A and B are shown apart, each in its own frame.
Chain A
Amino acid sequence: MPKSITIDPVEVRASGKIKINDIPANSYKPDFKKEEKLYGREGLIGAYYDMLIIREFETMLDQIKKEGAYQGMEYNHRGPAHLSAGQESASVGQSLVLDTDDFIFGSHRSHGEILAKCFSAIKKLDEATLSTTMENFFGGETLSVVDKHNRGENVRDHAENFILYGALAEIFARAQGFNRGLGGSMHTFFAPFGSMPNNAIVGGSGDISVGAALYKRVNRKPGIVIANIGDASLACGPVWEGIVFSAMDQYRTLWDKELGGAPPVMINAFNNFYGMGGQPMGETMGYREAARMAAGVNPEGMHSERVDGFNPLAVADAVARKKKILLEGKGPVFMDTITYRLSGHSPSDSSSYRTKEEIASFREKDSLVEFENYLKENGVLDDNAVEAMKAKVSKKIGDTIRIAIDDSISQHVDAKFIESVMFSNTPTEKLEDREPEVLMPLEENPRVKANARKARYAFDESGKKLPASKQFVYRDALFEAAIQGFYTDPTLIAYGEDNRDWGGAFAVYRGLTEALPYHRLFNSPIAEAAIVGTAVGYAMSGGRAMVELMYCDFLGRAGDEIFNQMPKWQAMSGGELKMPLVLRVSVGNKYGAQHSQDWSALIAHIPGLKAYFPATPADAKGMLNLALKSTDPVVFFESQKLYGVGEEFEKAGVPVEYYETPEGEPSIKRGGKDVTIITIGATLYEAVKAADILEADHGLSAEVIDLRFINPLNYDKIIESVKKTGKVILSSDASERGSYLHNVASNISRLAFDYLDAPPAVVGSRNWITPPAEMEDYFFPQASWIIDSIHENLLPLADYSVSSNQTVGEFARLQKEGV
C-alpha cells in the first residue's frame, strides 16, 4: 500500500448508496446516410465481401470435415475445426473500425476474426507496406507459393490470396502456414496485421490480452487490444483476474499521468449463447446478460454494453466508441456482442442440446442475408453484383484449398524443426534501444550503496564466518542482477504481490521502489493467473517481464498460464514469437503445508520451460542475469532458506561486475572422490554438512554437486563425477515421490550404468504435508539422512549407527502406504 493513498475511517464508514450504471443493450439505430458517409460505399461492400469470404471459408472446412471434399477436391483433415458460420457480422463489424496497430486476441473459434482483421488491414495498408510485409514473412516462403500458384489480380487481391493460403495451410498443418503448421486451427494468428494469438484454452486470452495492452501502455505503443472470448469463458477465474488486473485504480491514481491512463484493453464476449453444449444464459451462469458481468468491476462498470452482433454496423459503431474511451486511457471496456453459431461446436456436434426450431429461427435471421438485403435496399448492391462476388469468393477459396492440400507445394515441417522452435535461444540484453526510464542514477541508489559496503565472501581471512549483517547475501545478489536489468532493458517491468513499497515479501526488491517509476515496478492484485497471464501477453508483444509468485505453492493458482501459455507460444507460433519472461517463485518453509513446497518437478515436466534454481549468491546473480537476457520463459526458483546466506563457495566472492552463469551447467561446490552428492536448492547446505561428517568420521571424500539448472541440464560433469566415485546420492527439499531428482537418478543409471557401484539413491522430503516450523526436521532432508542413506544403500560405513530409516524395505513400505 502506498503511503500517498490513505484510508479515511470517516469516509469508508459513511452511510449512503452504491450506484451501478445502467448498461445499454442493442441501442444501435441504423441510419444509412450516416453509415454511407462514415464507411463509404466501398467500405460497406468490403464488409459484405469479407463476410462472404468467412462464410465460404467455414463452409469449405465444414464440408471437408463432414464430407471429405470441397468443390470435388478430396481431403482428410485430421485436426480440429471449430467453425463460426453465423458470426461473421460480429467479427467483420469489429475489424471494420480497427487499425493494423490494434491487436485482437481470440479463442478456439477465431478463423472468422483472423480473416476479418487481416482483410481489414489489407484494405487499410498502402500497397508498398503490404508487399513488404508479405515478402518479409518467413523470408517470403509463404508468399512464393501464392506468387507461383495463386497470383492475384493486383497487390490487394494478391494479399487476400496470401492471407487465405497462410490461414488454411496453417489449419492443415503445413510448413508454409502462418505458424509453420504448429499452431493449427485453434492457435494460429498473423501478428503483422494485428491478429494476435488465438487460444484453445477457454478464456486463455482473457489475461494475455491485458498484458499486451500493458505492453502498449508502458512502452507507449499505438493502438488498442481486444480480447475476443466466448460467453462461457466468463466463468473462468483467469478471465476475471484479467479483468480485475485491467481495472486497477493505480493506472490513474499513481502512474505518470503523461503515460496515458489504463491499459487500452477491451474484453469482448462474442456471446453465441453456448459453451460447447452448455448454456450460460439460463443454465450454467446466473448473469442473464453477459454485459452484467462487468457492472461491479469499477465505478464505470467497464463502460459495459450489449451490442447486436447480427448487424456489422452496430458492432462497428460500438467498437469505434469504445476505442475512443480506451485511447483516452479511461478503460478498460467490456462488450457483450451477441451472435449465434449456425454450425455445431465442432464437426462431431449433433446439436443434441438445442432444437431444430431454434436453429431455424436464427437461420431466418442470418446476418449475412440481412446485411445483403440492407445493402440492396439502399442501392449499394444488386443481384448481379452479389452473384459476381459470390462466384469470386468461391473461386478464391477453391484455389486456396487446391494449393494448401497439395503435398508437393505445401509440406509438413520435420520433427527436427519442432525441436528447433521449442526455445528461441537468442540472448538479448535489451529488447528496445532507448534510454530506460529510471528515477535516479544507479550509483545513488541507497541499496546499491549499502551493498557496496558488504563482504562478498562469507568468511574472513581466518576462515571465520562474518556477521550476517556484513555479508552480501543471496537476496542482495538477486537485487544486483535485477537492478542491472532495469537499467539495461527499457522494456523490463516487474510486478507481483507486494513488489513495490514493501520491496517484495523477502526484501529482494528493497531499493527498487526509489529507482523505478510505477509503470516499471508495481503491485498486482492477488491474482496469480493474471500475474503470469499478463506477463505472457507482455512478453509475446515484444517486452520483457519479470513477475513473481510469492510462494512456489501459489503456482497452482496460475496453472494454465504456467503450463499452457508461458511454455507453448514460442513453438506454437512456429518460432514467430519469443517469450522473454522470468517467473520468480520462492520455495518456502516455516509456514506449514501450503507455503513450503518445492514444485520444481512440475515445471520440469512441462516442455517449453526453462527452470533455474540457484543456491548461492554467486549463482543467484549469474543466473538471474542469464534469465534476464534470455528470450525464453524461465521459471526462476528461489528458497526462503537461502535469502540470508552469504557466498560460502567462491573464495573470490560474488563478482562485482556483470557475468552470466553458463546455462545448464551444474556446479561442483566441493571436489571429492568417494561418493557424489547431488542437490537442488537449499539442501546443498545439508549436503556440505554431510560431506564434512563423512570426511571427519569416515575418511571419505564426498563430491558435492549443485545442479543449479533443472532444464536445460548438461549431464557431462555429473557423469564425470559418477564415473570417478561410482556412488551417487541425490537430495532436495522436494517431496520424494515424483521428485525431479528421480529423473536425474534414472538418467545417471542410463548414462553411466557400468560405472555404478550401487543404484543412485534419492533422499527427498517426506511425502506428507509440510508440518509446522517446530516439526520441519521430520520433513526436510537432514545431513544425517544423507549419511544414513549412503550407509544403507551405497557404502556400508564401519561402526556406524543410523538415526533414520533409509533402507529399501522401509522405502518399499512407504511406497505401499502412499506416504
Chain B
Amino acid sequence: MATALLMPKQGNSVESCVILEWSKKEGETVKTGETVLEAETDKATIEVESVCDGTILKIYYPADSEVPVQKMIAVIGEPGEDISSFDAEFAAGASVEERADGDLVNEAGAAAPETVRDASYGIPESSAAVKSGDNSAVSPRARNIAAAKGVDLSTVAGSGPKGRIIERDVLTVAGQTEPLTPAAAAALVEKGLSAPVSGSGIGGRVRLQDLETAAPAAAGASQVQMPDFPGSFRDEAVRGVRKLTAARMMESLNSTAQLTHSFSAIAESLLDYRRKLKDAPEELGLGRVSINDILMFVVSRVLKEYPEFNAHWYGDSMRYFDSVHMGFACDTPKGLLVPVIRFADRLTLKALSDESARLIAACRDGKAQPDELSGASFTMSNVGAFGIDSFTPIINPPEVAILGVCSTQLKPVRTGDGIEYKDHIGFSLTYDHQANDGAPASRFCAAVIKAVENLDLYLAL
C-alpha cells in the first residue's frame, strides 16, 4: 500500500518550507531514510527523507514551491499502484498524517524474540514503536543515534543487557565517518569530486553543493575580446533565504509606518570597558565579548523600562513581552539571518556573548535550527564595522522597532574649558509609528544614550 510523504514540521514557528531541489524523480526508487529532497525554511536547510522503501509514484510540488508543513508532497509505493485516493486528498488539501503513521506501525514485524534470561523482566517481545525487522529492544539513545546517522535498526544486532540494541551497536554499523547525503555520495563516485570533512547539511552532512564548492575551479578561461554590450550575464532564480528576505522586507515596508531616529552616545565608557575585557586574564574567557554583545546586553536592560518597544504589533492588539528575546542581524554566505538570543535580559554579559558567538557560528555553518531564528521581541543590526554613519534599518514585523548600530566617530563636546573631541557611537532606531509615537521613541533613544554613557551602572543589572 502506498505511503504519503509529508513536508516535515520544523520547530514550533515554521509554517511552510520551500522545496529547493528534488534529489529523486517520479519513477525512481528510494530506501527508508534516503533523502528525497532538500527544502529550506526561512531559517535553515533541511533534508526530507523517505519514510519507507519503494518507488516515487507521484511528486505533487515542483522545486521552488512553498509548501505548508505536514502537507503531502509525494507518494511512495509499488509501481502501478492505484494512487487515486492520494490525488483526491491532494486535491482536497487534506493532511494524511495519520495514514502515514499507520503504515509504519502495520509493517512492524512480529519475529520471535531472542532467548533472554529472566524472561518476565526482559524486554517486551514486540513493540509497536519498533520498526520492521527489529526483534529486540532498542535504547532511546541507540534509536536517536540510528535516526541521526540513517542506520536501519533492523540491520543491527543488540549487544546490551538482554540483547538490547545500545549505542555501541549502532555506532558499529554506522562507522565513524561523516555521512554524505545520497546525492552527494552519487556525485562523488560519478564525477570524481572530493568531499570536505564536514558539510553544510544537518549535523555536518556533506551535501551535493558542498562537493561542488570543494571541486577545483574550472580550467582558466582564455583572454577574450571586449564583448558586445552588455556582455554576458546570467539570470538566477531567486530562492531560499534571498526570496524570503525579499518578501519579508517588502511586507515590512508595505504594512508598517516606519521612521527612523538617528542619534549618538559618547562611547568612552563602552570602549574602555571593551578594552578591559580584552585585557582580562585569559581564563576568564572575556576576550571574545564584542562591542555588539555589550550593546545588546545594555539595550536588553533598557528595554525592560520601555516595554512598548519590546513588543509585537498585531493591528488589533499589541503583545508586550516580560522578557527580552534579542534578535540580531547576522551576515552569512546564504544571506541575512536573524538569530535570537532568548531571555537576553536574564543572561550575564558573558553568557550573552557566548550565546551570540554560538548562534553566529551556527548561522554561518548553516546549522542554525529554525527555533533559534525566530521569536525575537526586538532586533539589533550592527553595520558599524563598515564605517556606516547612519542608516534606516527595516523592522522585522510583528516587532515594533529595530535598533541599528553605526560606526564610532569623533564629535566635539562642550566642556568647561572649551571643546573636546570625544568618540561617539551612532545609532539608528527605526520604529513603527502605528505602535509608538515620536516622543516615547525619543525617550527610548535618550535612555539608550544614558545607558551607553553610564555603562558601569547597567552592568550591575
Contacts and interface: CB of A to CB of B under 8 A. Distances in A.
Given A726-B167, A758-B139, A809 B117 contact: yes
Interface in A739-779: 753-758
Contacts of A671: none
B161 A757 contact: no
B141 A808 contact: no
Interface string B122-162: 00000000000000000111101000000000000001110
Interface residues of A, number: 17
A755 B141 contact: yes
Nearest to B163: A796
A754 B144 contact: yes
A758 B144 contact: no
A809 B161 contact: no
Interface stretch (A41-49, A512-520, A549-557, A787-795): A787-795
18 contacts: A726-B141, A755-B140, A756-B139, A757-B139, A757-B140, A757-B160, A758-B139, A758-B161, A758-B164, A758-B166, A793-B161, A796-B161, A807-B118, A808-B161, A809-B118, A809-B121, A812-B118, A812-B120
Contacts of B168: 795
Interface in B98-135: 117-118, 120-121
Interface string A712-743: 00000000000000100000000000000000
A726 B159 contact: no
Contact of B139 (A726, A807, A808, A809): A726
B130 to A, nearest CB: 16
Contacts of B167: 726, 757
Contact of A756 (B117, B118, B120, B140): B140
B160 to A, nearest CB: 6
Contacts of B142: 757
Given A757-B139, A808-B161, 20 more contacts: A726-B139, A726-B141, A753-B140, A755-B140, A755-B141, A757-B142, A757-B166, A758-B139, A758-B160, A758-B161, A758-B164, A758-B166, A794-B161, A807-B117, A807-B118, A809-B118, A811-B121, A812-B118, A812-B120, A812-B121
Interface in A779-819: 792-796, 807-809, 811-812
A755 B118 CA distance: 25
Interface residues of B, number: 16
| Binding site secondary structure of chain A | helix
Contacts of B164: 758
B239 to A, nearest CB: 34
Contacts of A792: 161
Nearest to A723: B141
A240 B159 CA distance: 63
Interface in A40-87: none
Contacts of A756: 139-141
A808 B166 contact: no
Interface of A: 726, 753-758, 792-796, 807-809, 811-812
Select the residue from B120, B159, B161 with max chain A CB neighbours within 10 A.
Answer: B161
B118 A757 contact: no
B140 A754 contact: yes
Contacts of A758: 139, 160-161, 164, 166
A417 B164 CA distance: 47
Contacts of A794: 160-161
A754 B142 CA distance: 9
B139 A795 contact: no
B334 to A, nearest CB: 30
A134 B121 CA distance: 65
A732 B159 CA distance: 28
Q: Which 8 A-B pairs have the closest CB atoms?
A: A809-B118, A726-B141, A757-B141, A808-B121, A757-B139, A757-B166, A754-B140, A757-B167
A795 B118 contact: no
Nearest to B121: A808
A151 B217 CA distance: 91
B140 to A, nearest CB: 5
A793 B118 CA distance: 12
Nearest to B140: A754
Contacts of A793: 161
A726 B164 CA distance: 14
A247 to B, nearest CB: 54
A748 to B, nearest CB: 12
Contacts of B139: 726, 756-758
Nearest to B142: A757
Nearest to B167: A757
Contacts of B159: 796
Contacts of A807: 117-118
B117 to A, nearest CB: 7
A505 to B, nearest CB: 43
Interface string B159-190: 11100101110000000000000000000000
B393 to A, nearest CB: 37
B52 to A, nearest CB: 23
A602 to B, nearest CB: 29
A817 to B, nearest CB: 15
Contacts of A755: 140-141, 144
A82 B262 CA distance: 71
Contacts of A809: 117-118, 121
B83 to A, nearest CB: 35
A749 B109 CA distance: 28
A277 to B, nearest CB: 51
Contact of B160 (A753, A754, A795, A808): A795
Nearest to A753: B140
Interface in B392-425: none
A792 B121 CA distance: 13
A795 B171 CA distance: 14
Contacts of A796: 159-161
Nearest to B139: A757
B313 to A, nearest CB: 31
B369 to A, nearest CB: 16
Contacts of B117: 807, 809
Select the residue from A756, A757, A793 with max chain B CB neighbours within 10 A.
Answer: A757
A754 B141 contact: yes
A757 B141 CA distance: 5
A43 B161 CA distance: 83
A390 to B, nearest CB: 54
A808 B140 contact: no
A794 B168 CA distance: 12
A458 B27 CA distance: 72
A753 B139 CA distance: 9
Nearest to B165: A757
A756 B142 CA distance: 8
B159 to A, nearest CB: 6
B170 to A, nearest CB: 10
Nearest to A754: B140
A819 B331 CA distance: 65
A739 to B, nearest CB: 20
Nearest to B138: A757
A753 B142 CA distance: 11
A694 to B, nearest CB: 15
Contacts of B166: 726, 757-758, 795
Contacts of A795: 160, 166, 168
Contacts of B120: 812
Contacts of B121: 808-809, 811-812
B362 to A, nearest CB: 18
A792 B116 CA distance: 13
